[in-house]
Amino acid sequence: MGGPTLSAAIDRRRGAVSRRTSFRIRERTTMSHDASLGSFVSFRRACRRSRFAGLRAVCLCAWLLFAGVAAADPVVALQAVQQLESDHSAMYQRMQVAYGAHRRGDDARARQALMGAADYAVRLSGGLAELRTANQDTLDRGLYRDRVALERALADIAIAEQRLDQLIETLLAATQYLDPTSFYLISSDAAAFDEPFLAALGSTRQS
């Protein structure tokens, strides 16, 4: 996708991160150099949790305005799964480019790759909403083969959506804050997202 509305959503969220960058830098400079990574990570997460309360609403409005939600049935759900897998792979490719660029000291390239990863993460958010709609419709209409698997997929999608919100904000924050802790947070949030995300795709296929 990536139309004007989607770009505007990304720009608004980048602005939210930028406005708070100076606050985060002042807070970091007061920390002891020998503070543990665990304490610093907890501090970083606490500072950014309240900033993205409307995150999914912004993502989904952009996605639905640009793409629309098709009439849902099992075939639509499987098509959504395929698109989600493609976007997931693209997101990880860009994250790997960002890691490599940062190690080489090419921060401009790293930031560009992180923005690309965030863009695909937003696409994933819209795709998960479409998959949730399709699966719920399949459940309501009794078109499933395995009701337990379908209900499990819906539960996993809900968890994946919450964790994806956190991953998106981490990716956007990292474009302002390129350091080892930022990349540690990206890896941690991505792993937390992958567990319910991949489970949801598997359960959807099974259902």
Predicted TM-score of the model (pTM): 0.69
Q: Token digits for 176?
A: 């302002």
* Tens of pLDDT, residues 28-87: 444 444 444 455 455 555 555 545 545 555 555 555 444 444 444 678 899 999 999 999
* Tens of pLDDT, residues 4-35: 455 555 555 555 545 444 444 344 444 444 44
- Among residues 72, 83, 75, 25, the alpha carbon closest in space to that of 205 is found at 75
pLDDT higher than 90, residue 126: yes
pLDDT higher than 70, residue 198: yes
At which residue do the structure tokens 């698997």 appear? 149
Q: Return the higher-pLDDT residue of 189 and 25.
A: 189
d(CA 207, CA 205): 6
pLDDT at 177: 87
pLDDT at 75: 86
* Residue 59 CB neighbour total at 10 angstroms: 26
| Residue type at 154 in one-letter notation | L
* Helix, coil or strand: residue 23: helix
Report in angstroms the alpha-carbon separations of 141 from 36, 76, 169, 198.
Answer: 52, 14, 36, 24
Q: Token digits for 155?
A: 């539960």
Report in angstroms the alpha-carbon separations of 113 from 8, 104, 116, 118, 195.
Answer: 18, 14, 5, 9, 23
* Tens of pLDDT, residues 128-187: 999 999 999 999 999 999 999 999 999 999 999 999 999 999 999 999 988 989 999 999
d(CA 153, CA 147): 10
pLDDT at 74: 78
pLDDT at 15: 54
d(CA 20, CA 51): 9
d(CA 131, CA 128): 5
* Helix, coil or strand: residue 2: coil
- Among residues 52, 20, 27, 26, the alpha carbon closest in space to that of 42 is found at 27
Q: Nearest 5°: CA angle at 145, between 202 and 206?
A: 10
pLDDT at 35: 45
